[in-house]
A and B are shown apart, each in its own frame.
Chain A
């Protein structure tokens, strides 16, 4: 590796080059080129089965890629998994602990696996438990812990090794709203106060977007878009050659269609359950409002798709139904 390359890589704590993983005929991860800058919170967003966990396992060197390479802090994950794993803390999806051992004992085992001397480990564990708010529960058996407590113990477990990069797989899954709030604050804290890089995988965009500096949208093994949320909105809106407008009016009848067809730039239409979807060459909302007013139609809902994050989300995650309920 030349020194120039080193300089280039310096900023990216995570970098993948054409990373691909195939299971038989199924391609779980397809030519992934992911870059995560040091000190940022990166959200890897995608529906279930998009290949997020597979990507994470490849980053940690726990699964071998079919082709391509993954680098963490300049180390090849496949060739130097030990170096990679010593600077990365991984909080798996639905983290598990040894139930018959106490929280502290579980963390002591992690510390021992990391080769941390016992007296030092005890200090670190105490600090980590205090940080996640489990100071008093550390001596209880993990079998008695609630789901939220386990998740917090998982974060303490990650903190014991003092990682540069923390990877969290679906950290908010199965936790009550208040718990999620606390958890997200804690994650934000880890990034801002400690300066750690955090990679969060989730299918719950709304929960994660508050704390992410950058997000990558990951669907069917491919990274569809990546950048800050603002960038992403532009990228997605500008990326297509037409815009879509959602429209709902009173009255909501065939007359509406006639008005719309007269407007310059409207290419196509589609009735959906709640609204009329117009495909246009450009943003025609101004003209549309005027025409509606002239014809005594009252607009109830008029929105440009591809601009709001919700619609980005919807566009890519349409196949996944069921979590749309919370959107408004």
Chain B
């Protein structure tokens, strides 16, 4: 803690920038609109999930009921909590960051702020930290809100294992949204117009959300065509190319990680041959085993976030202050 205080103290202006940015985000209208939208949708999905669980609890044998609050969807609401966060999370990151630097340029505040006795990186670091903090509060707040309401609605308290999974899931989501925040900040440096940087962010989001996996599949099919009577090697090779290409996308990494961590019955992320499944003992993975399974995804997400932020950082430090 002392070390942290020292770091913050020697980064002149950092805490002032963070405080101002957090205040700006929380009082800003667009953040209010976005969080209201997300809260309403998530509560809706929770309600549907809870009623589905309640109606099926007697009939089927259900385990991990608490986690199902986040993962199940009903007929009236086809999306679950986690799929909403996966879909709308990037939008939160983009909203918080798309005008980080070019907005300051537009308002002509950049040179005035940097003429104060602060290091230049305090501004971009402060903006990123403030964004991550806001995302953290928002995601954890939302996650716990759903947890609390879910317990009331279903009457089933979480086990320790489920709680660990929930915390891991929320942390993963914060990292994933931070990736989009870093990307948005990068775009706010590369494009001088705030509308262009917002559009660029949305374009990347739509591409990764809808087309990246499709494209990976098309490329894989092109290299290793698969038909009904292809042999095993061909099918495996096709799958490998497809997965490898897909895993270049943070969205895919996040989805894989979330499915594994929120679904204890997921035991592998690759294909399984019948011969491998023979003799396997029925059951679910423990939390640590699930975590082990998604470790590469987790590292990949953190890496992608840091690369984006590092690019933005370098660009910002080298950029001329005047327009």
A315 CB, min distance to chain B CBs, angstroms: 28
Decide yes or no: A92 and B111 within 8 Å by CB, A53-B322, A63-B320, A110-B116 being known contacts.
yes
Interface of B is mostly: loop
List of B residues within 8 angstroms of A251 by Cβ: none
Q: Which of A86, A109, A161 contacts B16 (CB 8 A)?
A: A109
B109 is an interface residue with CB less than 8 A from chain A: yes
Contact with A along B107-127 (1 / 0, CB 8 A): 111011111111100000000
Q: Does A66 contact B (CB under 8 A)?
A: no
Residues of B with C-beta under 8 A to A94: 108
A10: min CB distance to chain B, Å: 22
B 87-116 contacts with A by CB, 8 A: 107-109, 111-116
Which chain B residue shows the least CB distance to A96?
B108
Q: Is the CB of B107 within 8 A of A92?
A: no
A186 on the B face (CB < 8 A): no
Are B107 and A113 neighbours in the complex by a CB distance under 8 Å? no
CB of A19 within 8 A of chain B?
no
In this complex, the interface size class of chain A, counting residues with CB under 8 Å from chain B, is 20 to 34
Alpha-carbon separation in the docked complex, A146 to B112 (Å):
18
Asked if A85 is at the interface of the complex by the 8 Å CB criterion, the answer is yes
Q: Does A112 contact B (CB under 8 A)?
A: yes
Among B17, B112, B119, find the residue whose CB has the most chain A CB atoms closer than 10 A: B112
Chain A contacts of B111 at CB under 8 A? 57, 62, 90, 92
Chain A residue nearest to B109 (CB atoms) is A96
A98 near B116 with CB under 8 A, answer no
* B116 and A113 within 8 A (CB): yes
Contact partner, A60, options B16, B28, B115, B118, Cβ 8 Å: B115
- Nearest B-chain residue to A87, judged by Cβ: B117
How many angstroms from the CA of A88 to the CA of B13 in the assembled complex?
16
Known: A62-B321, A95-B112. A113 touches B16 (CB 8 A): yes
B292 at the interface (CB under 8 A from A): no
Tell me which of A53, A57, A113 contacts B17 (CB under 8 A): A113
Is B20 among interface residues, defined by CB-CB distance under 8 A?
yes
A86–B119 alpha-carbon span in the complex (Å): 11
Contact of A82 among B20, B107, B109, B119 (CB under 8 A): B119
Complex contacts, A54 vs chain B, CB 8 Å: 322
List residues of chain B with CB within 8 A of the CB of A110: 112, 116
The 6 lowest CB-CB distance pairs between A and B, nearest first, are A96-B108, A112-B16, A86-B117, A90-B115, A113-B116, A85-B117
Q: List 26 A-B contacts (CB under 8 A).
A: A53-B322, A60-B115, A62-B111, A62-B115, A63-B321, A63-B322, A82-B12, A82-B118, A85-B115, A85-B118, A90-B112, A94-B108, A95-B108, A96-B108, A96-B109, A97-B107, A100-B24, A109-B20, A110-B112, A113-B16, A113-B113, A113-B116, A114-B116, A114-B117, A115-B13, A115-B117
